[in-house]
Structure 1
Amino acid sequence: MPKIQALMVDVDGVLVTGRPQDGRHWQASLAADLAIDVEALNASFFRTHWTAIVTGREDLRPRLAKALRQIAPHVSTDQLIDYWFRNDARLDTNLLSEIADVRRRGVLVHLATNQEHERMRYLLNTLGLAARIDGWHCSADLGCRKPDPAFFAAVQRRVGIEPAGLLLLDDTAENVHAATAAGWHAVHWTGAVPLEDALQGYLSGHR
């Protein structure tokens, strides 16, 4: 196995797994809690604007405010963002402990995630992920998102590590395939086994 210098960890579906109380999608009770039609929100906001927002070409708040005026004028932008972020914040504490062990073994651990700016700050500061990692790479900062090859090239340039020294941990198979096409190593994360087993000897040179 090659010597891995940096483990690049996805966030949603890996470190963050839905609602804190039960792991369900953050929209699961949106209609009951805020009287917002989920399909209307997805049609007017997420399917229409999310790609531009998550790649930093548009801002979250103006687009969300416009959508809410159309589909749920009784809900403010602040209300929905607060609800969304709080209900999409279940940390996998076991995985975080395993990641801490990886860092102790001398491997850098960075986040490599498709996020817009505001939620990225929430993840780092409010949920405290900044204190548990060595760096982060956010699609809104880079101007491109996984699985775009440009994302992997941009991260590689940022860290100054050859692709063969990078390992992506991601729950989306398409991202895993894109990482390997970029010369990285990659593991499809399912959460079914401990991190040590999932990495299958990639860290054998680190003690």
Structure 2
Amino acid sequence: MRIDLLLLDVDGVLVQYQRMQRVLHLAQALDVPAASVQAALYESGLETAHDSGALDATAYLARLGQQLGRTVDARTWIAARQAASHPQDAVLQRLEHLQVPLAVLTNNGALMVQALPSLLPALFPTLNDRVFCSADFGLRKPQPAVFQRVLEVLQVAPARTLFVDDLFANVRGARAAGLHAETVRDGRGLGKVLKHYAVR
């Protein structure tokens, strides 16, 4: 088989994400209790609304600021996301010399597109204009339609696409959309998958 695109998840594949580190970083940067940040982001439904595309970046940051009684700008948000996102160097090293085109699909809001170049500088500018978030389509993995929409934009056939994610539910959704898909959580696992599909 020929693979024309390697589609990658972010959290759990390209980076190890620790949500509480993000909460604590924001709390310290804004001088508010961590419990207030936790409640504003997750218990209020704000993060879900941003991830689904119901709130764009400007509205999301404004609402977050209102709930915390602070001004929250994109730079502060990105810095907190960076503090909580630890690049998986072994995975990135496997990707560094691949000839197959790369793209990203992540269940996140629009701010993640702005954040990724600072989170994963080794993959840019290669990934410029090839980062897709659930908010772009109002769809989330594992819905098969979100994979179909990404591939329509990139003009790549599902049967020529390999998707990797740390969650099997998302792998199953990709397979339902006609993609090749495998579970990957580290560099060794990625290496095995690339070898199996003869991706170079």
Same fold (TM over 0.5): yes
Q: 1:133 to 1:80 in 2, by over 3 A?
A: closer
**How many percent of aligned residue pairs carry the same amino acid?**
29
Q: For residues 40-64 of structure 1, what are the alpha-carbon distances to aligned partners after superposition, in whole Å with 9 as ceiling and x for unaligned?
A: 4343333412232123221234344
1:43 equivalent among 33, 39, 43 = 39
Q: Alignment length, in residue pairs?
A: 196
Kept in 1: contact 2:22–2:84 (CA 8 A): yes
Kept in 1: contact 2:166–2:183 (CA 8 A): yes
Q: Which runs of 5+ in 1 are unaligned?
A: none
Q: 1:124 to 1:142 in 2, by over 3 A?
A: farther
Equivalent residues in 2 for 1:174-189, closer than 5 Å: 174-189=169-184
Q: Find the aligned partners of 2:135 and 2:50 in 1 and give their Cα distance.
A: 7
- Report which of the two has the higher share of helix: 2
2:160 is the counterpart of 1:165: yes
User: Please, what is the CA RMSD of the aligned residues?
Assistant: 2.9
Give the TM-score normalised by structure 2. 0.80
2:190 equivalent among 176, 186, 195 = 195
Equivalent residues in 2 for 1:49-198, closer than 5 Å: 49-70=46-67, 72-73=68-69, 75-78=70-73, 80-103=76-99, 107-124=100-117, 127-128=120-121, 129-133=123-127, 135-191=130-186, 193-198=188-193
Q: Which amino acid aligns with 1:179?
A: A
SS at match of 1:11: coil
Q: Find the aligned partners of 2:187 and 2:4 in 1 and give their Cα distance.
A: 24
Q: 1:25 to 1:182 in 2, by over 3 A?
A: farther
Misfit runs of 4+, over 6 Å: none
The structure having more radius of gyration, on CA atoms, is 1
Give the TM-score normalised by structure 1. 0.77
